[in-house]
């Protein structure tokens, strides 16, 4: 690895300060927060402003906000993102950690479509394929995605009391029961499937968010019942959340500071 250039590092440190708070900072605030000399901050801020990375806030002399250049770079980065490709890479990393089958899926109507999949190396494992479509209410990824919908979008998909199709005896078929279940998923931020799409498989899933914070996919870990336990479920829930978080970061999501 090559040597880091101090001036570039400091300039990036300044830009990253604008990710939190109200999005505006003065040179003295930057100096205080980074512990840099005032002359150094002045020179860096002047340079960043000259290159449109920062602009002065109208009617607030001495205060700066991000300029158009970071937006242009971010937009260019977003254009090059491929959810399936990024999902496949993260799924592979998660699968290597737990040696279970990992999926990334998106929602289409009341179905999920698997866009990435990495198999377990165990002889007994879930059999599936990228591109497969399943009823969302029968899967952990689907329940995670349904729980993340705005109320009007969910209502449009669950209108009336018509029973939902079952894949196993454990599938949730009553819309009212599904709504109660989704409320729990929404509260926990994790979805669990107990042999609802396959009588021999349990799954956990976590949400994947884009740069706006919107849930655009879900990542799941599928485990044969013979390897399932309360302890294993807790481990995989944590791992699924970590993997989904990593994929979210790759898509530009950044958790806001509390």
pTM over the 0.85 mark: no
- Closest by CA to 204, choosing from 237, 239, 230, is 237
Structure-model confidence comparison of residues 123 and 35, the more confident one = 35
Q: DSSP assignment, residue 128?
A: -
CB 214 within 8 A of CB 189: no
> 175-193 burial by CB neighbour count: b if 16+ within 10 A, else e?
beebeebbeebbeeebbbb
Q: Which residues make Cβ contacts (< 8 Å) with residue 163, sequence separation at least 6?
A: 173, 174, 175
Would you tell me the crossing angle of helices 27-34 and 6-17 to the nearest 10 degrees? 110
Percent residues over pLDDT 90 in the chain: 67
Residues 130-146 have a mean pLDDT of: 90
Two structure tokens written together for 13: 């440190």
Tokens standing for residue 53: 């990375």
Contact between residue 119 and residue 98 where contact means Cβ atoms under 8 Å apart: no
Split at pLDDT 50, 70, 90, the class of 146 is very high
Q: What pLDDT is recorded for position 119?
A: 85
220 vs 191: CA distance, rounded Å: 9
> C-alpha 181: how far from its chain's center?
21
Say yes or no to pLDDT of 243 above 50. Answer: yes
Q: Can you give the pLDDT at residue 41?
A: 92
Q: For 178-227, what is each residue's pLDDT tens digit?
A: 999 999 999 999 999 999 999 999 999 999 998 889 999 999 999 999 99
The tokens for 76 are: 């260019």
Of the listed ranges 10-24, 85-99, 171-185, the one predicted with least confidence: 10-24
pLDDT of residue 184: 95
User: Six-digit token pair at 74?
Assistant: 């971010």
- Share the mean pLDDT of the chain: 88
Torsion region of 111: left, alpha or beta (phi above 0 gives left; psi -120 to 50 gives alpha): beta
Beta bridge partners of 221: 102, 204
């Amino acid at each position: 690895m090559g040597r880091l250039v101090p001036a570039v590092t400091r300039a990036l440190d300044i830009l990253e300060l604008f990710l939190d708070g109200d999005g505006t900072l003065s040179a003295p605030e930057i100096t205080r927060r980074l512990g840099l000399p005032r002359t150094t901050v002045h020179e860096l801020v002047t340079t960043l402003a000259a290159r449109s990375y920062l602009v002065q806030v109208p009617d607030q002399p001495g205060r700066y906000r991000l300029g158009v250049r970071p937006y242009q770079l971010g937009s260019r980065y977003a254009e090059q993102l491929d959810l399936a490709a990024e999902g496949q890479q993260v799924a592979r990393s998660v699968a290597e950690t737990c040696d279970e089958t990992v999926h990334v899926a998106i929602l289409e109507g009341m179905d999920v479509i698997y866009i990435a999949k990495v198999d377990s190396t165990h002889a007994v494992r879930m059999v599936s394929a990228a591109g497969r479509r399943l009823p969302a209410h029968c899967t952990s990824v689907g329940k995670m995605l349904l729980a993340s919908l705005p109320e009007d979008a969910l209502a449009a998909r669950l209108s009336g009391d018509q029973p939902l199709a079952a894949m196993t005896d454990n599938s949730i078929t009553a819309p009212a029961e599904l709504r109660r279940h989704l409320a729990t998923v929404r509260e926990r931020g994790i979805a669990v499937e107990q042999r609802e799409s396959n009588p021999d498989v349990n799954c956990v899933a976590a949400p994947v968010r884009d740069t706006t914070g919107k849930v655009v996919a879900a990542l799941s870990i599928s485990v044969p019942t013979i390897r399932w336990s309360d302890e294993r479920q807790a481990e995989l829930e944590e791992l699924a959340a970590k993997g989904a978080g990593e994929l979210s970061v790759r898509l530009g999501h950044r958790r806001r500071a509390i």
